[in-house]
Amino acid sequence: MTGTAGGSGTSSLPDAPGGGGAAGRRPDRAVWTRVDGIQGASLDLLNARIGRRHYAPHAHDEFAIGVCVDGLETMRYRGERLYSAAGSIVVIEPGEAHTGGPADQGGFAYLCLYPTAELVAAASGWDGGLPHFREPIVGDPDLAGRLRLAHRSLRLADDPLEGENRLLEVLGAIVRRHAVRVPPGGSAPRGASGIARAVAARLSDEIVGPPTLAEVAADLGLSRYQLLRAFRDSMGMPPYAWLAQHRVARARTLLDAGHRPAEAASLVGFADQAHLTRWFRRVLGVTPGAYRNSVQDRVRRRPAS
């Protein structure tokens, strides 16, 4: 499930289906909230209403677990065109390329949270192994309601312990009901997926001065055409686009840490701030400066004891 940043306050964004009327009647809006102290780490929450924007293919380092609360969303994920209506839970796994946008003129609204794979696995209560969701669209009204309540409790931060408990309980239930376990050290992906992951790892390691396609292909014993085809088939985008959105993800972390946009642009390999801004808007729907202000202006929760 994709996301944007920007705006302030949450009064015009829905907490339940039908909470704000038809999405197409209002401009696109989204609000990020960062919650600290969740199992020793921070957790990002998103509350969004989208009427027009369609997001370019991108991926998250964490899970994106959300619930559609109004309208109908469409996205491309694992080579398929999917739709999620109000009441549907959407689960996007880390590193999985996807798009997102309204399926019709009415738009859609959703709540989303971005837990790490480690947090999701720990909440499941499984003794080892990582969760894998074969189906990204989950129809489970009970869990959809519990996910909304957990999101609201975390965002309002009236009772930090309650918010954390609701989060861990609903994550565990989603995994146990709808995921399968991948054993530790399970077989590595082969074919196009294995090639794509090898290329992505190389680009990530050399993010500021990336190698040429010819260099990467030669190291993998492939032609440039074979590499491009395998990467696009697996990731849904060419390597240059993957690298750009990965740089955006790195820049976002730097902005969170207090760096200015121009500094972040240089540190992740963009030519200049304008280059960062173009890609940042394409992936997240807002400028780096607006994102930085949105996150830093939010009240952060104290760690739960």
What is the residue type of 241?
A
Can you tell me the distance from the alpha carbon of 1 to that of 68, in angstroms, rounded to the nearest whole number? 10
Class of domain 23-182: mainly beta
pLDDT for 184 equals 61
pLDDT for 185 equals 54
Class of domain 191-296: mainly alpha
Helices (H), the chain: 117-124, 141-156, 160-178, 191-205, 213-220, 224-235, 239-256, 261-268, 273-284, 288-296
Nearest to 175 by CA among 131, 142, 112: 131
| Residue for token pair 């730097």 | 254
Can you tell me the distance from the alpha carbon of 180 to that of 305, in angstroms, rounded to the nearest whole number? 32
227-233 LR contacts (CB < 8 Å, sep 24+): 227/195, 227/199, 229/192, 230/191, 230/192, 230/195, 230/196, 231/192, 231/195, 231/196, 231/199, 233/79, 233/192, 233/196
CB 143 within 8 A of CB 177: yes
Ranges of CATH 1.10.10.60 domains, the chain? 191-296
pLDDT for 297 equals 60
pLDDT for 278 equals 92
pLDDT for 159 equals 85
pLDDT for 202 equals 93
Ranges of CATH 2.60.120.10 domains, the chain? 23-182
Sign, Cα dihedral of 211, 212, 214, 217: positive
Residue 108 bridge partners (DSSP): 50, 71
pLDDT for 274 equals 94
CB 291 within 8 A of CB 261: no
- For the chain, 305 residues long, give each residue's pLDDT as a single digit of tens: 655 333 333 333 445 444 444 444 567 888 888 898 888 888 999 999 999 888 888 888 899 999 999 999 999 888 789 999 999 999 999 888 888 999 999 999 999 999 998 899 888 887 777 888 989 999 999 999 999 999 999 999 888 888 999 999 999 999 999 998 876 655 444 467 788 888 999 999 999 999 998 899 888 888 887 888 888 888 888 899 999 999 999 999 999 888 999 999 999 999 999 999 999 988 887 889 888 887 766 534 444 43
pLDDT for 261 equals 94
CB 141 within 8 A of CB 67: no
CB 70 within 8 A of CB 18: yes
User: How many Cα atoms sit within 13 Å of 279 on the Cβ side?
Assistant: 26
